[in-house]
Structure 1
């Protein structure tokens, strides 16, 4: 049985700003772009949320809801540093850590020997250490899987903890609103409400055939979550720097024209891989690699200008081939990616 902890910092960016400037603690504060532009909010503290201010809200609307709202441009280097400090604490208990964002992560502590293997006591200690050493608070959920741990971390927010023991799993699941299920957005919620489904207890009673008719393949996940079942492992996330496809050919390609003919199939597979990894927004460069029959190789890159064009790979292949002008045994094509944290900066108009 897995022991999973979900850690979620409370209004993370705003919390870091209030830590560094205690005079902000009793004021409604948000992080984002100015209200006289097309800026949006990254987050807001709980004082601001009392006025209906929320993350991803246009700054102009937030100021109308809360005229005294203080909007701070934000400082990603500070937030990144606090996130790294949190992860240093996590690693004292487990190496199986799945970051979801700078302020949120899953931890699998199934094999941890800390506190006699008690996931709840580990979560309590993590919360205490983060507050003492970093100066912000986090909420924690403890359960046997990721779905329940994530829901539980929001149960007693802010600065709270909720542990779902195996004995209380079913009673806990029955009271989970379907809106808390990942992937159930506004449209899905409206569909479920028309079916009389508000909480997981209602969802369990709906025949699978009816769910399939309304939600397709998503029906199986809905039914599993409604029963508290989630087999997804906590996945250790490594920063992806590129996405590519390589083909080694059974016979050498003796000319540049023979090589160019092979590109469409490679690029079709590359598009599938990009879509599967959801990384199109991080693409920054074209990348092409050739390995020749004597095992020498060459690579060539070009920055993205405008929209993605397959023809660029053809030009790169011709240029790379001319460097050695030998038979080709391998062609690789791909994209270089910007680091996710750097790309995240572009989500909000920080200055």
Structure 2
């Protein structure tokens, strides 16, 4: 008989289903049952921010160019983003999370980790918390969410995507090994086709095959991520759920299923990422004195480029301008890119700075960051 260790955590990963597109379909009945993509117009080199499940049947998915999406699905309905509405729904969902446990770690507007080992409902099983939360989200917002329940973050995140949409998958400690044995190597977030191809070239088809792979082989395929990949192959992930803390920086990044080679497309992606970052700065009434670009090439080499901004910034257009300028200081376009990120650092609250320094204008020389 399996004996559950006393210190096993009950971790949930909850992910709203096709969030932006689902909000649009909820609020616009004429879109229900139709293929919908949220994002900019195809002629503007925009990318897909979200796709409904009807659109996904045609191969439309987030991060691909909108022009490609309409070629894949000629009947696609393209809807512009409305982050104010998505944020409002997100706040409803996160209020439900925090009513159950203070250990809520947001990953984006539509997904989070929760540690429900102890919870306000007094439920002993994580699956019961997940089921109740899914029902509460449906009742409160009219939307569905998928949930994964596991002893750690890695397994919980994999589990939440196992039966989408409206799924619930539980990986109890006694089932961990059986679950790991099922996972193909590209089931891991961040392992795209190129990396998976390198691993498969060395006979690594499943995640568990990593256990027997020579360290040199792994390092050649995934670089410094080799140790992390080995730990995951054994189901090990000791990361704790970290609730919201006072932000010292904020950013958005995306790993792409297919490496980017077109600089114009990279610039379009950066505009979207900078928009997320700028929207957050505006909501928090903060300004950033430093903008940082993150680029990861197809061989997992990662570089960052930063720019100081006299007086700070908070508006999206300025963020986009700096991100595009920083991109020119990389080898993007010459080398394929698998990840892009934009972040704002050295955050300051202008009104707080004014009060703290008795009338000195914010961002004067000597004002603390």
- Give the TM-score normalised by structure 2: 0.67
Evaluate the alpha carbon distance shift between residue 332 and residue 208 of structure 1 in structure 2; reply closer, same or farther with a 3 A threshold. Answer: farther
1:228-266: CA deviations, max 9, x gaps? 1001111113352569xxxxxxxxxxxxxxxxxxxxxxx
Evaluate the alpha carbon distance shift between residue 168 and residue 302 of structure 1 in structure 2; reply closer, same or farther with a 3 A threshold. Answer: same
Larger-gyration structure (1/2): 1
1:297-325: CA deviations, max 9, x gaps? xxxx713577599xxxxxxxxxxxxx99x
Moved more, 57-66 or 208-217: 208-217
1:67 paired residue number? 74
1:116 paired residue number? 123
Query: Residue 99 of structure 2 contacts residue 120 of structure 2 at CA under 8 Å; is this kept in 1?
Result: no
Query: Residue 115 of structure 1 contacts residue 121 of structure 1 at CA under 8 Å; is this kept in 2?
Result: no
1:286 paired residue number? 289
CA distance in 1, matches of 2:75, 2:245: 41
Aligned partner of residue 228 in structure 2, secondary structure? helix
1:302 paired residue number? 311
Aligned partner of residue 203 in structure 1, secondary structure? helix
1:162 paired residue number? 169
Relative contact order higher in (CA < 8 Å, ≥ 6 apart) = 1
2:210 paired residue number? 203
Alpha-carbon offset, residue 157 of structure 1: 0.5
CA-atom RMSD in angstroms? 2.8
1:338 paired residue number? none
> 2:148 is matched with which residue: 129, 141, 150?
141
1:348 paired residue number? none
Query: Residue 44 of structure 1 contacts residue 53 of structure 1 at CA under 8 Å; is this kept in 2?
Result: yes
Gaps of 5+ in 2: 1-7, 251-276, 282-286, 291-309, 327-358
Alpha-carbon offset, residue 187 of structure 1: 2.8
CA distance in 2, matches of 1:178, 1:109: 29
Evaluate the alpha carbon distance shift between residue 196 and residue 79 of structure 1 in structure 2; reply closer, same or farther with a 3 A threshold. Answer: same
2:256 paired residue number? none
Corresponding pairs, count: 268
Evaluate the alpha carbon distance shift between residue 47 and residue 230 of structure 1 in structure 2; reply closer, same or farther with a 3 A threshold. Answer: same
Query: Residue 14 of structure 2 contacts residue 147 of structure 2 at CA under 8 Å; is this kept in 1?
Result: yes
Alpha-carbon offset, residue 119 of structure 1: 0.6
Evaluate the alpha carbon distance shift between residue 239 and residue 113 of structure 1 in structure 2; reply closer, same or farther with a 3 A threshold. Answer: closer
Query: Residue 208 of structure 1 contacts residue 223 of structure 1 at CA under 8 Å; is this kept in 2?
Result: no
1:130-154: CA deviations, max 9, x gaps? 0111010000000000000000000
1:178-203: CA deviations, max 9, x gaps? 21223323332121010111211222
1:52 paired residue number? 59
Evaluate the alpha carbon distance shift between residue 215 and residue 54 of structure 1 in structure 2; reply closer, same or farther with a 3 A threshold. Answer: closer
CA distance in 2, matches of 1:230, 1:214: 21
2:108 paired residue number? 101
CA distance in 1, matches of 2:119, 2:65: 43
Query: Residue 178 of structure 1 contacts residue 199 of structure 1 at CA under 8 Å; is this kept in 2?
Result: yes
Evaluate the alpha carbon distance shift between residue 113 and residue 85 of structure 1 in structure 2; reply closer, same or farther with a 3 A threshold. Answer: closer
2:38 paired residue number? 31
Gaps of 5+ in 1: 244-280, 288-300, 310-322, 325-329, 335-351
